[in-house]
């Protein structure tokens, strides 16, 4: 039997005295694309950071390929889990190429410099997100959407097995939203080393299009997770957002809209 990429056992996460989840048991397997939905402030980002090993949970265990996350060296985790933050802030911006190359950090030894392979991966990632030709541009001269694509390129250059993304479509126009999520889907589908993704989204229809599993955070520690087809319905979504959600029949299945 396959070992899940990431697994939680009775995970309990709190922030500021608020329960984000309790007794959460999920298993993210290779090939799966997970979506994390919930209202503002419910703790989606906190949960994502906890799953990425950047915060300790109150209780429970997280296992990366059956090894306890809190016992693994940070570098090892970074070779397996990549995280796109909600916002990036560059106090000391460098060039676009330098920024993408930081994605190779977990793969390089203390004294090692980026080699040809690292440069090739970085340039390919830039080209994937449509930033070829931007290599020598200073990061602070880029637009918000270009910076977002740059951060994604750094994540692609990192080449993790589990892609965690916090609102990846922020600042992106519709063409790039679809284009980049398509790209992510392809990366996950290249099953050579068993990849998966987990992303926070606010657009239900992007979630239906790009995720096959969903985790809903209702607040007060209430969660619901499972295959998208089982979890996604008007009742659950109306409860999730505290606002009526309606479904219309679209060309590729149901389209969900705020009522």
Partner 1 sequence: MNPRLILPLLILIAPLCLLLALAVGSVPVDFSSLFDGSDALGRSLILELRLPRALSAFAAGGLLALAGALMQVLLRNPLADPYILGISGGAAVGALLSLLFGLGAGWMMGNAFLGAMITMLLVFGLAHGQGSWSPLRMLLTGVIVAAGWSATTSFILAIAPERNLHGMLFWIMGDLGYAPPPLWGLIVTAAGLLVCLPYARDLNVLARGELTAGALGVSVKHLRLFLYVVAGLLTATAVTIAGSVGFVGLVVPHLLRLLGLSDHRYLLPAAVLTGGSLLVLADTVARSILAPQQLPVGVITAMLGVPVFLYLLHRRRGSL
Q: Could you tell me the smallest distance in angstroms from the CB atom of residue 186 to partner 1? A: 22
Q: Can you state the angle between helices 116-128 and 144-158, rounded to 10 degrees?
A: 140
Which run of H or of E encompasses 16?
A: none
Nearest to 48 by CA among 218, 220, 163: 163
111 binds partner 1 (CB under 8 A): yes
Residue 62 class from Cβ within 10 Å (0-12 exposed, 13-18 middle, 19+ buried)? buried
56 binds partner 1 (CB under 8 A): no
Q: Which is nearer to partner 1, 99 or 169 (CB)?
A: 99
Q: Which residue has the tokens 């398509």?
A: 182
Cα–Cα distance measured from residue 239 to residue 217, given in angstroms and rounded to the nearest whole number: 10
Cα–Cα distance measured from residue 208 to residue 235, given in angstroms and rounded to the nearest whole number: 16
Q: Which is nearer to partner 1, 154 or 180 (CB)?
A: 154
Among 26, 83, 198, 199, binds partner 1 (CB under 8 A): 83
78 binds partner 1 (CB under 8 A): yes
Q: Which is nearer to partner 1, 17 or 73 (CB)?
A: 73
Contacts of 77 (CB under 8 A, 6+ apart): 52, 53, 64, 69
74 binds partner 1 (CB under 8 A): yes
105 binds partner 1 (CB under 8 A): yes
Beta-bridge partners for 64: 6, 67
251 binds partner 1 (CB under 8 A): no
Q: Could you tell me the smallest distance in angstroms from the CB atom of residue 36 to partner 1? A: 16
Stretch that binds partner 1, among 107-115, 124-132, 223-231, 245-253 (CB under 8 A): 107-115
58 binds partner 1 (CB under 8 A): no
Binding interface with partner 1 (CB under 8 A): 49, 52, 54, 73-79, 81-83, 85, 88-95, 98-99, 102-103, 105-106, 108, 110-111, 113, 138, 140-141, 158
């Amino acid at each position: 039997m396959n070992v899940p990429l990431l697994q939680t056992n009775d995970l309990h996460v709190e922030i500021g005295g608020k329960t984000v989840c309790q007794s959460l048991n999920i298993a993210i397997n290779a090939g799966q694309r997970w979506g994390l939905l919930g209202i503002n402030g419910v703790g989606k980002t906190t949960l994502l950071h906890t799953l990425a090993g950047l915060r300790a949970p109150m209780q429970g265990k997280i296992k990366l390929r059956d090894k306890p996350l809190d016992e693994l060296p940070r570098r090892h985790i970074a070779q397996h889990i990549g995280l796109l933050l909600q916002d990036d802030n560059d106090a000391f911006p460098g060039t676009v190429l330098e920024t993408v190359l930081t994605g190779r950090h977990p793969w390089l030894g203390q004294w090692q410099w980026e080699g040809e392979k690292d440069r090739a991966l970085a340039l390919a990632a830039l080209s994937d997100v449509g930033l070829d030709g931007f290599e020598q541009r200073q990061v602070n001269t880029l637009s918000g959407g270009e910076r977002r694509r740059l951060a994604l390129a750094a994540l692609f250059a990192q080449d993790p097995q589990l892609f965690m993304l916090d609102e990846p479509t922020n600042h992106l126009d519709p063409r790039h939203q679809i284009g980049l999520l398509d790209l992510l889907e392809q990366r996950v589908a290249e099953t050579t080393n068993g990849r998966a993704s987990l992303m926070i989204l606010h657009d239900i229809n992007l979630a239906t299009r790009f995720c096959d599993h969903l985790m809903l955070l209702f607040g007060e520690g209430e969660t619901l997770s499972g295959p998208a087809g089982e979890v996604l319905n008007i009742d659950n979504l109306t409860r999730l957002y505290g606002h009526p959600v309606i479904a219309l029949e679209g060309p590729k299945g149901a389209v969900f809209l705020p009522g």
